[in-house]
Amino acid sequence: MPPTADEDDDANPTPLFSPFPNDPPPPAPDAAAPAAGAPAPAPPSRRSRFAGAVLGAAIGDAMGHPTEFLSMAAIRDRYGPDGVRGFELYWDRGGHRFAPYTDDTQMAECVLRALLDDRDDLDAAMRGMARRFVDWAERPQGGHRAPGNACLAGCRALARGAHWAEAGGPTAGGCGSVMRAYPFGLVFCDDLDKAERWAVEHSKLTHRDPIALAASAAMAVGVARAIRGEEPLAIASEMLAAACRHSPPTAVMVAEAIGDADAAVGPDQTLDRLRAWAAHEAIAAAIYVFLRHPDDPAAAVLEAANTPGDSDSIATLAGALTGARRGVEALPPDWVRDVERADELRALADRI
């Protein structure tokens, strides 16, 4: 259950966004500010940010793949006291060794390809996405990777001819749509309203619960603002506002996560509460991790992967946000080299 408003007031006495829309936004601390006298590093190019988001998400997905469904005790038993510190799961295909990602990246690729085919016509883009989702459910690229039940149910409805806006379950509120929502923030980074609106519409193919719509909206807005070079707390505040437009309970959960990051509440506490199987928990967990490590995609991905909940999805979201902010050069080169289909994903990002 989300916390009550009273609990949230206690946890976070400084409001991060105003309920009065004409107020100026709160000042955002510049986490990436260089030390006095040091030259400011050049900001990453847009091309680098697009690749950083796509590859960061895939890397997070692959990093969290072996720890999904494991408790923290089981993770520490298997990987040592610090948990997973790099890719632990490798597959071989045609003599090439790689760290496999999961359904999160498979579906996000469907979303991105559909958007690159149709950037201007919502209905055409969603119908193209529906075709790709049905094809994914029946013949996923690289084989099935723990697909979510709501995603598969939505795909079955689409295959039966349901309209894309009505295919998802009305109470489907898992993280299956937010995990694949980051491409809207990339393709529509210069049109925030469109990024949010299309991300919300796309959720309806498989997830129609307001918490899934709100989480998808927040993710699209957050990634778009990261691409635009905005500061972490400003990004988080706008993600909170986007969530609030679609599901106030989701916004409450996000606000508490922002408060936890601000108060330096540790991940053993916050990411144990936010298991992220549900969409509102997933977006709140991602924002918490992003605020703790906005300039360190590797740290963000590892913190997200070492969680007792939906590790691959939290790490996907954290990788997309930090990769969009810092660019592909900020990702560890060996992770970029080893993640599944890195070259294809990089080429896809270059088409944005």
- Chain contacts with Mg ion (rule: CB under 5 A): 102-104, 312
Q: How far is the CB of 313 from Mg ion (least distance, A)?
A: 6
Q: How far is the CB of 87 from Mg ion (least distance, A)?
A: 16
Nearer residue to Mg ion within complex by CB, 26 or 142: 142
97: enclosing H helix or E strand: strand 96-98
Asked if 69 and 309 touch (Cβ cutoff 8 Å), the reply is no
What does each C-alpha distance from 214 to 80, 141, 155, 200, 336 come to in angstroms? 36, 28, 21, 7, 30
CB-based closest residue to Mg ion: 102
Asked if 251 and 214 touch (Cβ cutoff 8 Å), the reply is yes
Q: How far is the CB of 102 from Mg ion (least distance, A)?
A: 3
Nearer residue to Mg ion within complex by CB, 62 or 324: 62
Strand partners, 98: 91
Q: What are phi and psi of 106, to 5 degrees?
A: -55, -45
Nearer residue to Mg ion within complex by CB, 103 or 260: 103
Q: How far is the CB of 11 from Mg ion (least distance, A)?
A: 30
Q: How far is the CB of 31 from Mg ion (least distance, A)?
A: 29
Nearer residue to Mg ion within complex by CB, 179 or 235: 179
Asked if 259 and 9 touch (Cβ cutoff 8 Å), the reply is no
Nearer residue to Mg ion within complex by CB, 256 or 312: 312
Q: How far is the CB of 29 from Mg ion (least distance, A)?
A: 33
End-to-end CA distance of the chain: 38
Q: Spell out the alpha helix ranges (H) of the chain.
A: 5-11, 46-64, 72-79, 103-117, 122-138, 149-159, 182-187, 192-203, 210-227, 232-246, 248-262, 267-273, 279-292, 297-305, 311-326, 333-338, 342-350
Nearer residue to Mg ion within complex by CB, 104 or 281: 104
